[in-house]
Amino acid sequence: MESKRQQKFAGVIQKDLAEIFQREGMSFLPNTLVTITKVRVTPDLAIARIFLSFFNNQNTSLALNTVKAHANEIRYKLGSRIKNQVRIVPQLEFFVDDTNEYVERMDKIFDKISKEPRQPDTEE
């Protein structure tokens, strides 16, 4: 369970990182829309785990590796934005948020199940 402080800090990071990716993300991920779906912060506020979703991109692992390669640059830009609000700028860890893929996969399974003929209930 996250504290209010962690949730507030995660919200600030999510908002500022979204602006960074929107304005400057095209330089290292051209033609890709990056969405920050979730940010989780450790209790000491030293590490932020950022979950990303990539649209208009076929290879999410390559996109994630590209973002990880630019993590120091992204952290620097984040630090220049939030320097007056925090004591330390957290280390950034990036992950792919595959919730949409999971939902699509589950929908396909449920569609397949609903198209199968129902077996009559046998009561004994």
pLDDT digits (tens, 9 = 90+) for 1-43: 888 999 999 999 999 999 999 988 888 888 888 889 999 999 9
In a domain, 104, yes or no: yes
In a domain, 74, yes or no: yes
Residues 6+ apart with CB under 8 A from 48: 10, 13, 39, 40, 41, 42, 90, 91, 92, 93
d(CA 114, CA 53): 30
In a domain, 57, yes or no: yes
> For 40-67, what is each residue's pLDDT tens digit?
999 999 999 999 988 888 888 898 999 9
In a domain, 124, yes or no: no
Adjacent-strand bridge partners of 52: 36, 96
Domain of 76: which CATH number? 3.30.300.20
Query: How many structural domains compose the chain?
Result: 1
In which domain, by residue range, is 90 found?
4-115
Residues 6+ apart with CB under 8 A from 81: 16, 19, 20
In a domain, 110, yes or no: yes
pTM, two decimals, is: 0.78
In a domain, 120, yes or no: no
In a domain, 97, yes or no: yes
